[in-house]
Amino acid sequence: MSAVTVAEERVVVHDDPPPARRSRLDPRSIPAWLVAGLVTGIVCLLRAGSPVPWRDELATLIAAQRSFSEQLHMEHNLDAVFAVYYAFMHVWTEVFGISMLSLRLPSVLAMAVAGGLVARIGQDLYDRRTGLFAGLIFAVIPAVTRYGQEIRVYAAVVAFTLLSSWLLIRAVQRPRWTRWVAYAGSVVLVGAGHIFALTVLSAHAAYVLFGFFAERKRPLLTWIRESRVPAWTASVAGGIVVIAPLAYVSMKQSGQVAWIPELNWDTGQVWHEQLFMDGAVGGLVVVLALLAVNRKWSATALCLGIAVLPLLVLAVMSIAVSPLWMMRYVLFTIPGWALLAGAALARLHRVPVAAALGALLLFSLPQQITLRGVNGHDDIDHQAIAAIIADHVIPGDAVMYTPRGRFREGVEYYLPADKRPDDILVSGSAVEAGRLEVPECINAPSCVDPRVVRIWVTCYGDCLDNPAVGLHMPARSMLKNGRFHVRQSWRVYRATVTLYQR
């Protein structure tokens, strides 16, 4: 109220001071999703171009440099599950080139989007504090950095599943046919990213069904009429129909995952270490998450469903159908744990929140440093091999690459064209064969020019005692019968490179 003073027939009005306004620079005015997205993006971008690519990343590099028709020809034989991603990467590399940073930037951006969506979902389901804390927790998890710096589809899959979950929340909270159509489109996007990512639908089903039974006290007809179950079912069915052809072709190529070991008790009990890529980080996040389970049941149904149900589905499939227990296939469950952990922190005061976040950062720091090293992706150091060859190669040298480990593609990525030895085992075109690897000469002696005096040989692991052990038998026999002897060997990370001389 204004204060009014009457004196000598004059009225003086003293206005009340205006209500205090939040400063434009107040951090609380910045959207939580923006903070989380930026932090995640910066964390993933830091030294993203440093690690040497591992063999699966090299597969993306190979596929991305092929035309759409050449990719389609290859996908009749293998990697149909990555068809959409390979097509995107072809366009990306045509525009931005094939530097390591450029190749990994789509994953960096995808993880940044995922971080923002984690915060937005947390805010929509709980409150702003939950969204912010969940986004920050997500950002510092080592697995987020690892796959946010990988030339594969898994970062995009995390973003796609989060987008689908967010669209589901919007459709459930305020049902409109346009929102259900958008959700159906996101189901297609999830399946196009990776078929196994469709296991997130188990969590979506739990969320929708929880809401259905939570409202059972309403009049029967109203309960059924206003249920979200029919709309959700129709949306999922529509999305599945669209993605079914890709799923069918991918399932026919199930032999590509035949190398995955069987799931056993020893493997299963360290799932958190495998998923989060650090046992201490995973343990802390899981403990925090379990503290929030009873905070808000509808939100818990979705978050806990995302965190747990795809893991259970993958475990059942691994036991009943075929071994499929690879944590990168369910990387998208990490946001579920982060959301629950964020909900737990949101109920605490500043000191315990700071302590928990500080502990999480401290636990993750060693792995974060390791992941950004040259050998952070824990595979063959092709860069070191290329440097050795470049320093010692002379005109007329030849090379024989071990079939295992994609030595050829990795070394040639780093080795200048004028420094490359003659690749004497190549007998055809990988593009024409519809394969990632080039066809090689079966009868090595007939493929080697008798004038060749020096041959470089690569081997996976420590092969100093027998450098040619990784080659096929005809190639090994050719070295022996051709009177080649070891001139010098070099041991690099995960590999050995040897120079043979006649």
Alpha-carbon span 443 to 472, nearest angstrom: 10
DSSP summary character for residue 322: -
| Boundaries of every domain in the chain | 30-371, 382-501
Please tell me the predicted confidence (pLDDT) of residue 4: 43
Stated pTM of the model: 0.93
Q: Cα–Cα distances in Å, from 127 out to 249, 299, 339?
A: 42, 11, 11
- Other beta carbons less than 10 A from residue 343's beta carbon: 28
| Tokens of residue 239, six digits | 């999305």
Please report how the helices 334-345 and 100-125 are oriented relative to each other, as an axis angle in degrees rounded to 10. Answer: 50
- 3-class secondary-structure state, position 493: coil
Please tell me the predicted confidence (pLDDT) of residue 12: 47
Please tell me the predicted confidence (pLDDT) of residue 9: 44
Q: Tell me which amino acid residue 374 is.
A: V
Please tell me the predicted confidence (pLDDT) of residue 29: 84
Check if the beta carbon of residue 172 is closer than 8 Å to that of residue 211: yes
Q: How many CA atoms lie within 13 A of 48 on its CB side?
A: 26
Check if the beta carbon of residue 37 is closer than 8 Å to that of residue 135: yes
Check if the beta carbon of residue 132 is closer than 8 Å to that of residue 345: no
Q: Cα–Cα distances in Å, from 379 out to 51, 75, 374, 461?
A: 10, 25, 10, 10
Consecutive 10-residue runs of the chain (502 residues): their mean pLDDT?
Answer: 44 51 68 98 98 98 98 97 98 98 99 99 97 98 99 99 99 95 98 98 96 70 72 97 96 90 89 97 97 88 98 96 96 99 96 97 98 98 99 98 95 98 96 96 88 97 96 93 95 98 96
Please tell me the predicted confidence (pLDDT) of residue 137: 99
| Tokens of residue 23, six digits | 């400063």
